[in-house]
Structure 1
Amino acid sequence: MMSKLPSRYLWGVTGVALSVALVFLIIGITSRLSVIEVSVEDGIGLNGSDQQVCYFVEPEFQLRWMHSVEKQWWEEQYQRNDDALLLTTTYFEAFGAGTPSTEALATVQKPGYLGYQINESLPNLDWVVSRLTKGEINYGDHQILIHQWVPDYSTIIITPKAYGLVDRLKKDFCHELSSDGSE
């Protein structure tokens, strides 16, 4: 009778451990992670490969580019809000025709820039890329030189999404892809 006690105990502990592992597996598979997805509309893919989509998890990001006429930097600050992107502020070095001027000044001003508070909600962004404008996406500690990833006049679509575990495994983080056009 004494020899069966450790065996029952071992089976009980194993059963509990397997049950806990199963619960964590189910939670991992069914949980969703809010992300910002960056995809290429023309189907060429980042770096010319089959990979057409990457993502990042930071809730805030910045688009930055050189204005094609004024040759000055423009920046737009965004936040992910559930299923939309919120354009919070714009900053630019030069003020000219077409520049928004009816909005309130941004509460935080950057040296050398003029900033406006925008607070416009967008379902996604369609951004046409050109090497001449030197477009980039900045988030966290990462700077993605998007103008070096794709051919000129490719359309990048930036969308808030929720990824499950399978989606996360099938796609790359944007900062893990080379931003200089190499593999």
Structure 2
Amino acid sequence: MGFVLQPVVEVRIKGLEGSDDKVCYFVEPDFQLRWIHSVEKQWWEEQYQRESDGLLLTTTYFEAFGAGTPSTEALAPIQKPGYLGYQINEKLPNLNWIVSRLTKGEIDYGDHRVLIHQMVPDYSEVVIMPKTYGLIDRLKKDLCHELPSDGSR
């Protein structure tokens, strides 16, 4: 039973000034990152799929068009009201994401919305990567949606 392996998405919040990293995980293969773009001040959403050797950025949705906005990609097959969506299909080994209260970063998966910006100090680095956990690993770590939203333990 301890040898059963389960693919997960691990979320590692880098510790500040010598403190330990916080680590949580979720088992759903599809997830979305959402944040408010620092220049446009509009929501930006990226949808991902966990794969065995990385993450696949499938689609990007945004409310406003501006600097850094992809415009040469094919339109996403499913459009969301109030958003423009593009099909991206870019493979990444992991994500390194800087989170702050101003950008209101969140991770959505399954029926859960994790307000990561409320759990960490401003400008914290969050690393998101596919992993495989055994039973012991899963027992030692928390599901991301079970962490307190104010960052306490």
* Cα separation, 1, equivalents of 2:16 and 2:132: 22
- State whether structure 2 residue 64 is matched by structure 1 residue 94: yes
Q: For the structure 1 residues 172 and 141, does the alpha-carbon distance in structure 2 shift closer, same or farther, using more than 3 Å as the test?
A: same
- State whether structure 2 residue 121 is matched by structure 1 residue 143: no
Q: What's the TM-score, normalizing by structure 1? A: 0.79
* Structure with the greater alpha carbon radius of gyration: 1
Residue 31 (structure 1) aligns with: 4
* Cα separation, 2, equivalents of 1:43 and 1:31: 33
Higher helix share: 1
Matches within 5 A, 1:78-89: 78-89=48-59
Aligned residue-pair number: 153
Higher strand share: 2
Q: For the structure 1 residues 53 and 164, does the alpha-carbon distance in structure 2 shift closer, same or farther, using more than 3 Å as the test?
A: same
Question: For residue 33 of structure 2, what is the amino acid of its counterpart?
Answer: L
Q: CA deviation at 1:181?
A: 3.4
Residue 91 (structure 2) aligns with: 121
- State whether structure 2 residue 82 is matched by structure 1 residue 112: yes
Q: For the structure 1 residues 160 and 44, does the alpha-carbon distance in structure 2 shift closer, same or farther, using more than 3 Å as the test?
A: farther
Superposed CA deviations along residues 37-85 of structure 1, whole A, max 9, x for unmatched, are 000123579xx8x561000000000000001111100000000011210
Question: For residue 86 of structure 2, what is the amino acid of its counterpart?
Answer: Y
Asked if structure 2 preserves the Cα contact closer than 8 Å seen for 1:44 and 1:52, the reply is no
- State whether structure 2 residue 31 is matched by structure 1 residue 61: yes
Residue 152 (structure 1) aligns with: 122
Unaligned runs of 5+ in 1: 1-27
* Cα separation, 2, equivalents of 1:63 and 1:44: 26
Residue 19 (structure 1) aligns with: none
Question: For residue 101 of structure 1, what is the amino acid of its counterpart?
Answer: S
Q: What's the TM-score, normalizing by structure 2? A: 0.95
Asked if structure 2 preserves the Cα contact closer than 8 Å seen for 1:43 and 1:52, the reply is no
Match of 2:65, SS state, is coil
Cα RMSD after superposing both structures: 1.6
Identity of aligned residues (%): 74
